[in-house]
Amino acid sequence: MPSLTLPRSAVAAPPQASAARGPLFCRLLAFSRIPRDAWDRLLAASPQATPFARWSFHRAWWDAYGSTAHEQYLVCQPADDDEIRAVVPLMHRHEAEPQDEITATILRRHVALRGTQVAGEAKAVFFGASYHADYATVLCARDDAPAAADALAETLAGPADTGHGSQPWDVVDLRRLRAADPVLPALHSAFDRLAPRENWQVIREPEDVCPVITVTDGDWDGYLGTLDKKARHEIRRKLRRAQAAGELSVSIAAPTPEAVDGFIELHTRRFGDEGLFPPTEGGARSRRFVHRLAELEAAEPDGGLLRVAQVRCGERMIFATLAFDDGRTCYLYNAGMDPDAADLSPGVTGTALYLRDRIEAGRRRFDFLRGGEEYKYEWGAQDEAIERLLVVRGARQ
């Protein structure tokens, strides 16, 4: 689609009530000042929260990428109560910045934005930390989603906040929303409600897919039985060939600095300059982010969800993957493999051993995250959609 022309204007308006529990009001609050107990309480209450909504993920993102955007986090509260009922993690920047091309990593470009195109110079409001997150949401209980969405829409209809510059936004570009998230229709309705008054255009469209394996039979053989005959045969054949070369083993542990470095080394050996860690500023930021995330997750009271899986053939590590594991779902964030072990099919062998281990540990969902790469479907993954909600100022005719 052609780029949209985006005139700039701002209209202030008072909040309105839309939820049975009464209206909420938004106020800006720096990410570092949001109480952790409130964040964690709302995370637990959010029906579609994922590891990408954890405080540790946001903290690590800002520590690594903070120079690329300006935070704009909001908390939602009743007028007569200090209780935080919602956290809306936002940031703003231009849709495209001059340094983006220099600092981008090639591996992420397969998930380039589809759908409505926005001019690079447009000032855009995004979900906070969402550039490197595969899912995003507003942290709130299901019953509070409509009121939080109304409060957000009214806040964004107001004048530009002088603490974040005098330029009003041109677009609100909310990505990574799961199709099943009740926050999505709540936001859509709230922005639609104000669109005639504010002269907004509101667009809801598909953004990408996340292929997901759902295991219904409780063991490895039962899972393999759900695959088509060719895929099942190839997995078993490649496992037998690798086993003939040496004993196969998998270890899954907390992301120590040494384990993270091992993952980065294998990822870089496999993907080189086209991976996440090229010898560029973008690669350096990726390293900082992954190590900082691992550090913060390991320090979490629950022990963290981030894990490094290492697969060996004999003493040789041939595969490593970085994944979140919440006890039911494993989110496969990224992987690396030894290109010199091509005869062992390290990608298939490593993925098979990881899946088998986690299925036996009771995991029932394996989320390959954004991108419809062919290999994901060879494991029986089915698409789950993520959507984009785009609000354009002054675009209605």
Confidence of residue 232 (pLDDT cuts 50, 70, 90): very high
Instruction: Give the whole-angstrom CA distance, residue 281 versus residue 105.
Output: 9
**Three-state secondary-structure class, residue 171:** strand
Residue 224 has pLDDT above 90, yes or no: yes
Mind spelling out the 3-state secondary structure of 338-377? CHHHHHHCHHHHHHHHHHHHHHHCCCCEEECCCCCCHHHH
Residue 89 has pLDDT above 70, yes or no: yes
Helical residues (DSSP H) of the chain, grouped into ranges: 36-45, 55-65, 100-103, 145-157, 183-198, 220-224, 229-245, 257-271, 281-298, 346-360, 374-377
Residue 265 CB partners (closer than 8 Å, separation 6+): 336
Bridge partners, 337 (sequence order)? 319
Confidence of residue 12 (pLDDT cuts 50, 70, 90): very low
* pLDDT of amino acid 11: 29
Residue 323 CB partners (closer than 8 Å, separation 6+): 306, 307, 309, 330, 331, 332, 333, 354
Confidence of residue 165 (pLDDT cuts 50, 70, 90): low
- Placement of tokens 């969902």 in the chain: 365
* pLDDT of amino acid 130: 84
CB 170 within 8 A of CB 125: no
CB 327 within 8 A of CB 343: no
Domain boundary assignment for the chain: 25-208+386-393, 216-363
Confidence of residue 85 (pLDDT cuts 50, 70, 90): very high
Residue 102 has pLDDT above 70, yes or no: no
* pLDDT of amino acid 218: 80
For the stretch 22-41, pLDDT in tens is: 899 999 999 999 999 999 99
Bridge partners, 329 (sequence order)? 365
User: Higher confidence at residue 194 or residue 108?
Assistant: 194
Instruction: Give the whole-angstrom CA distance, residue 72 versus residue 61.
Output: 14
**Three-state secondary-structure class, residue 43:** helix
**Which CATH class name applies to 216-363?**
alpha beta
- Placement of tokens 């690669």 in the chain: 283
The structure's pTM equals: 0.91
Residue 108 has pLDDT above 80, yes or no: no
Two domains, one topology: 25-208+386-393 and 216-363: yes
* pLDDT of amino acid 19: 42
Mean pLDDT of 129-138: 93
Confidence of residue 164 (pLDDT cuts 50, 70, 90): low
For residue 103, report the phi and psi dihedrals to the nearest 5 degrees: -100, -5
Bridge-based pairing of strands 382-393 and 171-178 is antiparallel
CB 232 within 8 A of CB 380: no
Task: Write down the CATH number for the domain with range 25-208+386-393.
Answer: 3.40.630.30
Mean pLDDT of 319-335: 97
Instruction: Give the whole-angstrom CA distance, residue 333 versus residue 354.
Output: 13
Residue 126 has pLDDT above 70, yes or no: yes
For residue 340, report the phi and psi dihedrals to the nearest 5 degrees: -80, -5
* pLDDT of amino acid 110: 47
